[in-house]
Amino acid sequence: MVALACRALELNFRAEAIVAATINAAHAVSAAEEVGSLELGKAADIVILDLPDYRQWPTATGVNPVATVVKRGRVVVETETGRRGDVPFEANAGCLTTVLLSTMRFRAHHGVLAEERTQGQEFLVDVDLEADLRGAGQSDDLERTIDYRRVYGIVKDVMLGTPQNLVETLAETIATKILALDRVTAVTVRVRKPQVKLPGPLESAGVEIRREKR
């Protein structure tokens, strides 16, 4: 739209076209108090361009200059090569990495039976989290990936924390805390009880949940 304004309307001052597409457009739909400009109290919707000068944006045709998109304060798109446009604009489209932490073992006192609370038992926890980690893979930079130690710490704090009746509660709490981490878009959590007492042989009983960031 900005490029069209510069060409069709022959706006030489390109900043004028950008203003028309942002704050003026917000005024037109009576949304200027919430969006349209960077001001305290407004929604943090920001597009960061991989260009030497923002005024080149309207003429950057045939390429994708978008480097980062922030929606409501969260990064929803982060590209490494926005200037060449060879990373899809859609957030995380086909570029998710699954980080696995398997069979974490904890002895804890969760359960509804008195002996579970007093004697405790072993719990096994698996976490599969999804995130766009292209930046880490391309840069070999620890700061751009998910630190396994932080994820393990979350699981440990929940499992060794306040005793809960249900493994469903444990899984839900773990998933909620992991989803709050930067870059994580979805998580699957499995919590199993290998020593559960049932009238027959089995390897374990437990739950598996999947939660996605909205």
Question: Annotated active-site positions, please?
Answer: 193
CA distances from 135 to 97, 170, 184 (A): 11, 32, 14
Identify the burial level of 131 via C-beta atoms within 10 angstroms of its C-beta, where 0-12 means exposed, 13-18 middle and 19 or more buried. buried
How many helices (H) and strands (E) are present in the chain, helices listed first?
7, 7
Look at residues 103, 115, 105 and name the one whose alpha carbon lies nearest to residue 196. Answer: 115
Look at residues 17, 18, 23, 21 and name the one whose alpha carbon lies nearest to residue 36. Answer: 23
Residue with tokens 């859609």: 90
Give the separation between CA 210 and CA 161, rounded to whole angstroms.
22
Which runs of E-coded beta strand occur in 147-195?
A: 184-193
Helices (H), 108-166: 114-119, 134-139, 148-159
3 state SS of 72: coil
